[in-house]
Amino acid sequence: MPLKLNKLVFARNRDREKEFGDIFNKTSRGLSYIMALSITVFFTPALIATSFLSKEAIVILANLSLSLGYLTNFAYRIYKKEVSKAELMVSSLTLAGFVVVSYLLSPTITALPLIKVLIFIHQMATAVNLFFLIKHVIVPPCKKLIENIAQTFGFDIAGRYYSKPPLTLEQDRYIIDILLMKAYGHNSYSPDFDKKELVSFNKLLEKLSEYIDKYDETILGYINNKDDIADLEKQIAQLTTKGNTDSSYAFIKKKIGFKTTKISMLQEARDIVRLAFNDPHSDATHALHFFKGIDDEQLKVGRHKVLGDGLQSLEKEIQRQKDKIASLQECLPIPRPKI
């Protein structure tokens, strides 16, 4: 088994973040989610199947309106090029599957032609609404899986699931001026303004969106990380609609702090492994704690290679974390040179 870095040794302890009300919060999210699906699947169809009064027709029309709203919103995202190829493929196939299943399960009802048409429309609308209710749960993980498979065969179809267009002077000058005043003390009409100052704001917007994707793309990520996703969406709304960066800058600085601590832990591990690598007579057993896939016997047989591979693995991870910090620092305002 090839040597791999045991990243759990350097992982941030998240117990304090999860311990308060964790079980109850997850249960509440799960129940809320199941209730929304149950009402859509069972409650409304039951009303339609048992009565043909005008109030039921109103429910059908409301259901149809909701489905049209979902479809219109999705079509608008496609028009704005906010939907990746992988997401479009997964969403289209899944939605088509829901509609087909709904059609096959649709009961044959002997009634007036108009009522039959309304019930059929309602059944299709229910399939559409059900898909969009669970879209955030099933599409991001499937999208990520398809992208990984395509990348294995040399095709890059990676794209964003959650994305927002960048801030531009043409569309967002009011907000940009607020951001510039807070960060640099001038607006976009000032002679001191440099277009490079916009880069950090858009990097910040992109980074917040990346973290939403990260939380979404795990299995049941949308449910388990719903609070974190909602918080990031709120930060994006504050940034793009009010020019408020306080919470998003705090989030970025927190992430930089976490990764700085991780680098220190990795460097400490590197020093221990390097010491064992340079001294063939030292006890290298403790160094194995930082890796997985390697046992004492392999260390005895190929000590030099094992420790050398371990050092390379640690150096690679240290550089990876430094690159992450650099990308996070790009989200902060450009430091002004001291005069």
pLDDT for position 268: 94
Token pair recorded at residue 261:
């601590």
Q: Which residues of the chain have pLDDT under 70?
A: 1, 12-59, 61, 106-116, 336-339
pLDDT for position 149: 84
| Pick from 240, 263, 233, 238: nearest CA to 325 | 263
**Ramachandran area for residue 243 (φ above 0: left; ψ -120 to 50: alpha; else beta):** left
pTM above threshold 0.85? no
The predicted-structure confidence for 227-248, as pLDDT tens digits, reads as follows 899 999 999 999 998 999 999 9
Backbone angles phi, psi at 185, to 5 degrees: 80, 15
Token pair recorded at residue 193:
């303004």
pLDDT for position 77: 77
Q: How many residues does the chain have?
A: 339
The 3-state DSSP class for residue 87 equals helix
pLDDT for position 178: 94
In the block, tokens 């302890």 appear at 13
pLDDT for position 127: 83
| Pick from 188, 184, 183: nearest CA to 170 | 188
CA distance 120 to 102: 10
pLDDT for position 19: 45
Please provide the average confidence, as pLDDT, over all residues in the chain.
Answer: 80
What does the CA dihedral 117, 119, 122, 127 come to, rounded to 10 degrees? -110
Token pair recorded at residue 279:
């001294």
pLDDT for position 289: 85
Question: Which residues neighbour 94 within 8 Å (Cβ) at sequence distance 6 or greater?
Answer: 131, 135, 138, 139, 142
CA distance 169 to 176: 7
CA distance 300 to 296: 6
